[in-house]
Amino acid sequence: MDEKTLARFMAKVEKQAEVTSPHVDTPCWLWTGAKKAAGYGNAWNGKTVEITHRMSHRHWNGPIPAGKDVRHLCGEPSCVNPAHLTTGSRRQNMADMVRHGRSTKGERNPGSELTRADVYAIRHLWAAGMSLRQLARRFPVARGQIRRVIAGESWTHCYMPRQMPPLPVETRHVGADHGRAKISDADVVAMRWRAVAGESIAAIAVDYPVSRPTVARICRGDGWKESGGPLTRRVRVPRSDGRTAYRVEITRPTPPRCADMP
């Protein structure tokens, strides 16, 4: 930035008096000028309109390698304090968002509401290809809530990436011809195949509106007897380090795969 651009830039920076982020030990410099929906500042750099923390990084810290993101160590998207900026891969940038989102969680009750940083991270990570199951593991809220965040049904005022993969069709209340059925025959078959593939009951249960014990019963064939699919049981295998591993044993021969696969 030349002198004139720098003066104009600094006129829109508000240096905080106190440290507000738990991840850094100096105060943030908040951008008060124009912002993009993501919370990033936006300004004229003398040649073109650029994201302000990138301008700041280039001016005080040096060039940004091609293809790299400028990451916020403080977790504040509008901060332009060069001491809070560093370069890294898109992957590291995503990991930062998860960490910043989660760390604020420690100060709140477990199972409480999502923060703005969480919502931001969830949408970014979904756009980057993370699955609902992986997101549900990383953020301590139910999968339904993550789904609503991605769909934009909640947190409507918060940043939404332009390119979002579509959500999978919900399996809830499909084929319910009696009261307790929340899952269809196809779901049951899919669960059983996943168990054969060695997925844990917990991992499978995340994707269906039934409890883990129910998934375990389904995979054992304790109920849902007409639904098809291979049945398995888990055999405990003690390990030398004292922990327990499980081996999946197929107890009912698999029917022809072509007719059976979901």
Query: Whose Cβ is closer to Zn ion: residue 13's or residue 160's?
Result: 13
Per CB under 5 A, the segment of 22-30, 88-96, 102-110, 209-217 that binds Zn ion is 22-30
84 binds Zn ion (CB under 5 A): yes
For 153, counting Cβ atoms within 10 Å of its Cβ (0-12 exposed, 13-18 middle, 19+ buried), the class is exposed
Query: Whose Cβ is closer to Zn ion: residue 55's or residue 74's?
Result: 74
Alpha helices in 197-253 (DSSP H): 201-205, 212-220
What is the nearest approach in angstroms of Zn ion to the Cβ of residue 74? Answer: 3
79 binds Zn ion (CB under 5 A): yes
What is the nearest approach in angstroms of Zn ion to the Cβ of residue 52? Answer: 12
Question: To 10 degrees, what angle do helices 116-127 and 90-103 make?
Answer: 150
Which token pair is 146? 């993550």
Per CB under 5 A, the segment of 72-80, 101-109, 158-166, 253-261 that binds Zn ion is 72-80
- Choice from 43, 52, 54, 76 touching Zn ion (CB under 5 A): 76
Could you give the string, one character per residue 27-46, with x where binding to Zn ion holds by CB under 5 A and - elsewhere? -x------------------
SS3 179: coil
Report the C-alpha dihedral over residues 39, 17, 25, 93, rounded to 10 degrees: 10
Nearest to 99 by CA among 129, 124, 65: 124
Query: Whose Cβ is closer to Zn ion: residue 72's or residue 220's?
Result: 72
56 binds Zn ion (CB under 5 A): no
Report the first-to-last Cα separation within the chain, whole angstroms: 58
- Choice from 51, 74, 190, 204 touching Zn ion (CB under 5 A): 74
Which token pair is 88? 């890294």
Query: Whose Cβ is closer to Zn ion: residue 69's or residue 207's?
Result: 69
What is 190-211 written as a DSSP string?
HHHHHHHTT--HHHHHTTSSS-
Query: Whose Cβ is closer to Zn ion: residue 83's or residue 186's?
Result: 83
Residues 183-222 that bind Zn ion (CB under 5 A): none
What is the nearest approach in angstroms of Zn ion to the Cβ of residue 80? Answer: 8
Which token pair is 247? 């081996």
Q: Which residues of 185-221 are buried (b: 16+ CB within 10 A; e: fewer)?
A: bebbbbbbbbbbeebebebbbbbbbbeeebbbebbbb
Query: Whose Cβ is closer to Zn ion: residue 79's or residue 158's?
Result: 79
What is the nearest approach in angstroms of Zn ion to the Cβ of residue 128? Answer: 23
Q: Please give the residue ranges that form the binding site for Zn ion (CB under 5 A).
A: 28, 74, 76, 79, 81, 84
